[in-house]
Structure 1
Amino acid sequence: MGRATLITTAVVFLAIGVIFSPETFGSKSTTLSTYIKLAHLLGFSIAFGAALWVTFIGGIIMFKNLPRHQFGNLQSKMFPAYFSMVGVCIAVTVASFGYLHPWKTSSTSQRYQLGFLISALAFNLTNLFVFTPMTIEMMKQRHKVERENSIGEEVGWSKNVEVAKKNPKLAKMNKKFGMIHGLSSLANIMSFGSLAIHSWYLAGKLDL
């Protein structure tokens, strides 16, 4: 299925859900707060689901099955899009939550939740604008050195580690890349953790 088809299908199902919802049948008009709650739920669920998949499933599967340079090049295209999408979704989540719970009238728990959501957005934007560009640039430099040593087309790190023992330049690059990538991963985990905390809050509000 093409991208346009997938988007159209999603919009159709969303429209059906809105039309046949109890809110629609139970009242003459759907309140603005209902739409804002929907925006909050969709923004949060997309951000949380994407972060869960990329962090714990998709990235690991790709690393274990793709040649390392191919994996790195794919990640360099995917991560800017990933962090951009998640950033937009979290921004919608923050804005909708802030609208539904104004700071002056919100409870302590609601203020904490807004803080967690803002933290998730901050960590995500830090990744998008700081760590990801640094990681990609460092990766490209390291790929160049690895190609000069005829490595990088294998799956996994074994050849890199072996060559780095005899190549100080590559060893230095590995150390710098590891530091930057580690900070990026930490920021991603912190963002995901903040969203996970909000998921617990939302679960407590559900009436199933």
Structure 2
Amino acid sequence: MGFQDVVSAAANLAPYHLLSYSTLIGMSIFQSFTVVKTAHRVLPRPAFTTLQARLFPIYFQLQTLYFFLTAATFPPYGPVSLIKDGTSAALFSVAGTGVLLNFFVYGPRTRQAMIDRSRKAGAPATTTDEDVEEASEEAVEALNKSFHKSHAMSLHINLITMGALVVYGWRLALRLKVE
């Protein structure tokens, strides 16, 4: 194997694409269906709230990073090739919209609503050592409603994103040449 062969192999986007896609879908499924379910089952509510308030921003950051890496390494020529593949472009558009909505809108809203709800409801604060604030039942109910609405949107967007990624992965697997 000569130098040109090494350069040609390193320039091939397919291995990078497969690794970034595999990391993206694996991380998304593991976080959504294993970590959250296990933590919810075994941790007391204040600890669960604290863990989620710290984990989900990291999850949405990594999901966004790996989504863009996956799009940038779409074989054979990156985004140019992705745009030319209409079905994959549509799936990436759905997944990308979900990733960005959770990263910029619903993830932060849900996290803040969870923190506010914990403070007002008398549970330990999740991000600071500020004193827990007293609140009326109506205020706590409003915070609960806000949390549930943001959380439901984030959860459904995450499921739609993962659905688009799974369909894309199926199509990707069908394109593999196995000898």
Fold in common (TM above 0.5)? yes
Q: Percent identity?
A: 25
Aligned 8 A contact 1:97 1:114 in 2: no
Larger radius of gyration between Structure 1 and Structure 2:
1
Which residue does 2:137 correspond to in 1? 167
Following the alignment from structure 2 to structure 1, what is the Cα–Cα distance between the partners of residues 66 and 152? 24
Question: Which stretch of structure 1 is more off in the superposition, 77-86 or 90-99?
Answer: 90-99
Which residue does 1:102 correspond to in 2? 80
Look up the equivalent residue of 1:96 and give its one-letter code.
T
Q: How far did 1:34 drift? A: 5.7
Following the alignment from structure 1 to structure 2, what is the Cα–Cα distance between the partners of residues 89 and 202? 16
Which residue does 1:146 correspond to in 2? 121
Look up the equivalent residue of 1:70 and give its one-letter code.
A
Q: How many residues align?
A: 165
Aligned 8 A contact 2:98 2:160 in 1: yes
Matches within 5 A, 1:6-155: 28-29=5-6, 31=8, 35-97=12-74, 99-100=77-78, 102=80, 106=84, 110-147=85-122
Q: How far did 1:122 drift? A: 2.1
Look up the equivalent residue of 2:103 and give its one-letter code.
L
Instruction: Confirm or deny that 1:197 pairs with 2:167.
Output: yes
CA RMSD of aligned residues (A): 2.6
Structure 1 pair 199–206 and aligned structure 2 pair: CA distance change class (3 A): same
Structure 1 pair 41–180 and aligned structure 2 pair: CA distance change class (3 A): same
Q: Which runs of 5+ in 1 are unaligned?
A: 1-23, 153-165
Deviations 1:12-65 (A, max 9, x none): xxxxxxxxxxxx69x943525763111111110001001101111110110111
Following the alignment from structure 1 to structure 2, what is the Cα–Cα distance between the partners of residues 104 and 145? 47
What's the TM-score, normalizing by structure 1? 0.70
What's the TM-score, normalizing by structure 2? 0.81
Following the alignment from structure 1 to structure 2, what is the Cα–Cα distance between the partners of residues 193 and 48? 10
